[in-house]
Amino acid sequence: MERRSQQYRQKKKRILLMNGAAMTVLCAIFFVGYTIYSNKIKEEQSDLDLVVTNYEKALSEQDFSSYIQLFADESFESYGATKEEITQRYQAIFGGIGTKTLNFDAVRIKKNKSGEITFSYQLVVATQSGSFTTDDYQLVLEPKENGYRMAWDPDLIFPGMSEKDTVQFNVDEVIRGTYSIAMEKN
């Protein structure tokens, strides 16, 4: 009888040891998995922050050639333009209206349920004649092997702008205010 009870205790001990070992292995697997997942999320966020920072820096410094490099080549081809032509267009428009500074306002980065990341902002444009705030700009950030890429579109010059539109800057002396900006739709 005592022998049976001793065998029973040894069997129970083995079961407890195996359960403990299994729990330890499961905890280790969970910890490693969580660490890998957490690091991946941090890396993605870091890449995203870098793209947004580079975007804001290039545009606010009016470094349009660096700004244009952030966009996928295919997005320019769909408008029948090169990066150089678009860079010149930015320089002509923002130089033509006498832009002193470009500052970002209401910056938002959102990730929807399907994983699409949207970057939106308003631009505060200070010119020689005063300043104005644009409507919201919106970009979709697509994850790529070496970070994120964005597709360029003419409404990234000014919201609502299409490829054939022009920008005119007129200074009219009036009692209240001194400038107006018009965008012509072709």
CA-CA distance, 48 to 42, in Å (whole number)?
Answer: 10
- CATH fold, domain 50-184, is Nuclear Transport Factor 2; Chain: A, (3.10.450)
Which residue has better confidence, 118 or 19?
118
Long-range CB pairs of 135-140, under 8 A, 24+ apart, other chains included: 135/159, 135/160, 136/106, 140/116
The tokens for 25 are 């292995």
SS3 state at 87: helix
pLDDT at 27: 75
Q: What is the mean pLDDT of the chain?
A: 83
- Identify the bridge partners of residue 166 per DSSP, sorted by sequence position: 184
What average pLDDT does this structure show over 52-75? Answer: 92
Domain ranges of the chain: 50-184
pLDDT at 179: 59
Task: Give percent above pLDDT 70 in the chain.
Answer: 85
Judged against a pLDDT cut of 80, whether residue 103 lies above it is answered with yes
CA-CA distance, 70 to 80, in Å (whole number)?
Answer: 18
Q: Which residue has the tokens 């004649």?
A: 129
* 69, 83 Cβ separation under 8 angstroms: yes
Q: Which of 34-48, 57-71, 111-125, 170-184 has the highest mean pLDDT?
A: 57-71
Judged against a pLDDT cut of 80, whether residue 33 lies above it is answered with no
pLDDT at 100: 94
CA-CA distance, 17 to 141, in Å (whole number)?
Answer: 51
**C-alpha 35: how far from chain center:** 25
Query: Residue 22's pLDDT band (boundaries 50, 70, 90)?
Result: confident
The tokens for 97 are 């209206």
What average pLDDT does this structure show over 77-103? Answer: 91
CA Rg, the chain, in Å?
Answer: 29
CA-CA distance, 60 to 17, in Å (whole number)?
Answer: 63
Closest CA to 140 of 53, 44, 72: 72
Closest CA to 147 of 23, 12, 52, 9: 52
Query: Residue 185's pLDDT band (boundaries 50, 70, 90)?
Result: low
Query: Residue 147's pLDDT band (boundaries 50, 70, 90)?
Result: confident
